[in-house]
Amino acid sequence: MLRCIVVFLEIIFSYLLQSSVFPYFELANVVPDILLILIVSTAFFKGQNAGVLTGFFAGLLMDFCIGNYLGIFAILYMIIGYFNGYAAKIFDREDYLLPLGLIAVSELVYGFLYYVFFVLLNGRLTIGYYFGRVILPRVIYTTFAAVLLYKLFQGIHLLLLRFEYRGKR
Amino acid sequence: MRRKHKVKISVRPKHLLYSLVFLCLLLLYVSYRYSDKLAPLKTSVGNLVTPMQDGINMVGTYITKQLELFESKKALQEENRLLKEQIEELKSQNSILIADGYELAQLRELYEVGKKYSDYPMIAASVISRDTNGYYSSFVVNKGFEDGIKKDMNVIAGNGLVGIVTEVGRNFCRIRAIIDDTSYVSGMFLKTTDTCDIRGDIELLDDGYIRVEGISLNAKVEENYEVVTSHISDKYLPGILIGYIHNIEVDASNMAKRAYLLPVVDFEHIENVLIITQLKERMESESE
């Protein structure tokens, strides 16, 4: 229960960071995808169910705030949460390379799916251009942001674990 | 006991994913079908998030201002030197512009562009968040229907067109910039009254240009002509300056000319905008 509330707050926090703080630190016209970092981290810590649910609520928030139609971001994020949940079985608190790799790959997949749903259907076929202009910079910037934020999310996760452990005893 | 409890709440991730994807598809359909009725729902979420963004934004502005203070002295001196050079340049340009001003006044009378847009009633608003996906250029400002903002109101900054209000909440509204990939504005050359279509194009965005299409082959347009919003647009008020034309060429179809347009607004650094609270009158309201 506590975890639900905390993750919910984390979602709001990430969205605010992404929409209002990072635009001040824009690089190559892109903003890192903090929500994606959160979803991948949560899925990595707690497994597929947690990943799917976090993706669902984070996506819904995006849909409500910037989307035209509800549900599309939720689907994208849920898929990402679901597949990253597989990695929860090999979760290791000392390993930082794997989550960063997961985040980079997820952002790449997300960028591609986003391109297909939003840009390709809008009749623009130049994927090479979009790849260089938006997708690749976003992958790089998100991965860099993840170096810091993953550590933060992991800290919160470990803190919660300690609380839960104490509660069960 | 604990194990039992755990088994009870466990759901197969696959089923959870399927059911939620189904729910999302349902939501997609509903929001597509009944987009008007869902607007209050979106607004209520916006109402929740906007004050927070507003607050963060204030902090952000404060921090950037502080950072700017730390900008090195050398850079400022260099800038000062450049600015002085620029002043000289501008002085000479100014005298030319004054002469142009007289010409403009005459031309305005000739073309009867009508009221200049400085006469329109306007509300100032500041930008509080931007679209976080690199594809679209839309942003949110801190004025909503409580301040009298309505959908399709035109937005300007400085002396040029920024975009149009696409969504209104209680205390915020979303503005689609004219550089947006999906934006379309009907424009007109001030000097020749030839019309053209101005489309946002992300591929030209980095060079700071917008695409202009559909200029008549017979139109006698030249480099640096001013483009304003046209009379035939159904959402944009006429006579708002958009930018200057560049690189005119005959397009692939050989039926029309196309060109680049350099907008007068600096979209990279928009902080404050003016929303014109007068809507373009629609045909049906005129026929009464």
B198-216 pLDDT, tens digit per residue, is 888 777 777 778 888 888 8
Is the pLDDT at B4 greater than 70? The verdict is no
pLDDT for residue B115:
46
Residue with the larger pLDDT of the pair A90 and B109? A90
Looking at residue B284, what is its pLDDT?
55
Number of independent structural domains in chain A:
1
Are the Cβ atoms of A137 and B134 closer than 8 angstroms? yes
Taking a C-beta distance cutoff of 8 angstroms, is the pair B117, B275 a contact?
no
Q: Identity (one letter) of the amino acid at B98?
A: I
Instruction: Report pLDDT for A88.
Output: 85
A35, closest residue in chain B (CA to CA): B132
| A148: containing domain | 2-16+33-168
pLDDT band at A105 (very low <50, low <70, confident <90, very high): very high
Per DSSP, what are the bridge partners of residue B175?
B139, B165
**Residue range A137-156: mean pLDDT, rounded:** 90
Domain with B268 in it: what CATH number?
A: 2.40.10.340
Is residue B88, in this structure, part of any structural domain at all? yes
Which residue, of B92, B112, B132, is where some domain finishes? B112
- Residue B134 sits in the same domain as residue B257: yes
In a domain, residue A138? The reply is yes
Q: Is residue B6 part of a domain?
A: no
What value does the mean pLDDT take over residues B90-102? 85
Q: Residue A23 domain-assigned?
A: no
At A3-55, the pLDDT tens digits run 888 988 999 888 888 887 787 777 777 888 889 999 999 998 888 888 999 99
Q: What is the pLDDT of residue B132?
A: 63
Q: Are residues B23 and B144 in the same domain?
A: no
Taking CA atoms, what residue in A is nearest to B135? A134
**How far apart are the two ends of chain B, measured CA to CA in Å?**
76
d(CA B213, CA B233): 15
Q: What is the pLDDT of residues B224-244, one digit of tens each?
A: 888 888 888 888 888 888 888
Residue B2 lies in a domain: no
Residue B17: its chain A contacts at CB < 8 A?
Answer: 48, 52, 78-79, 82
| Residues B128, B28 share a domain | no
Summarize pLDDT for B181-193 with one digit per residue, the tens: 778 888 888 888 8
- Å from B107 to nearest chain A CA? 40
The answer to whether residue B196 is domain-embedded is: yes
Residues B251 and B276 in one domain: yes
pTM: 0.63
| Residue A82 backbone phi and psi in degrees, to 5 | -60, -50
Is A102 within the bounds of a domain? Answer: yes
Kindly state the average pLDDT of the residues B260-277.
83
> pLDDT confidence of B287, banded at 50, 70, 90?
very low
pLDDT tens readout for residues B29-77: 888 888 777 777 777 877 877 888 788 777 777 877 777 777 667 788 8
Q: What's CA A141's distance to the chain center, in Å? A: 13
B235, B187 in Cβ contact below 8 A? no
Nearest residue in A to B32, CA atom: A69
CA distance A80 to B233: 42
Mean pLDDT for the stretch of residues B169-187: 86
- Asked if pLDDT for residue B8 goes beyond 60, the answer is no
Residue B7 lies in a domain: no
Residue A119 is nearest to which of B20, B128, B135, comparing CB atoms?
B135
DSSP string, A112-165: HHHIIIIIGGGT---HHHHIIIIIHHHHHHHHHHHHHHHHHHHHHHHHHHHHHH
Residue B8 lies in a domain: no
Residue-number span of the structural domain to which B29 is assigned: 13-70
Is B96 in the same domain as B167?
no
Q: Is A100 part of any domain?
A: yes
Contact list, B38 vs chain A (CB under 8 Å): 70
Domain match, B265 and B187 both: yes
Q: Are residue B152 and residue B19 in the same domain, yes or no? A: no
Let me know if residue A27 belongs to a domain: no
Integer angstrom CA distances of residue B238 from A161, B12, B32, B154: 62, 59, 32, 11
Residues in chain B: 288
- Do residues B26 and B81 share a domain? no
User: Would you say residue B117 lies in a domain?
Assistant: no
Same domain, B208 and B145: yes
Whole-number mean pLDDT of chain B? 80
Decide if B1 is inside a domain: no
Q: Which two tokens stand for residue B10?
A: 């466990």
Q: What is the rounded distance in angstroms from the CA atom of residue B48 to the CA atom of residue B67?
A: 30
A101 has a pLDDT exceeding 70: yes
Does the distance separating the beta carbons of A71 and B11 come in below 8 Å? no
ipTM, interface predicted TM-score of the complex: 0.78
Q: Please tell me the predicted confidence (pLDDT) of residue B117.
A: 59
Residues B128 and B36 in one domain: no
In a domain, A24, yes or no: no
Look at residue A100 and tell me whether its pLDDT is greater than 60: yes
DSSP helix, strand, coil percent of chain B (3-state; round to 5) = 40, 25, 30
Over the stretch B271-282, which tens digit does the pLDDT of each residue have? 788 888 888 776
Specify whether B139 is located in the same domain as B220: yes
Whether A65 sits inside 8 A of B46 (CB atoms) is yes
Residue A57 lies in a domain: yes
Nearest to B16 among A15, A52, A79 (CB): A52
Radius of gyration of chain A (CA): 16
Q: Extract the tokens encoding A110.
A: 């997300």
Mean pLDDT, residues B238-262 taken together: 85
The answer on B246 and B155 residing in a single domain is: yes
A-chain residues within 8 Å CB-CB of B2? 168
Helix, strand, coil in percent for chain A, rounding step 5 = 85, 0, 15
Which one-letter amino acid corresponds to residue B28?
L
Number of domains in chain B: 3
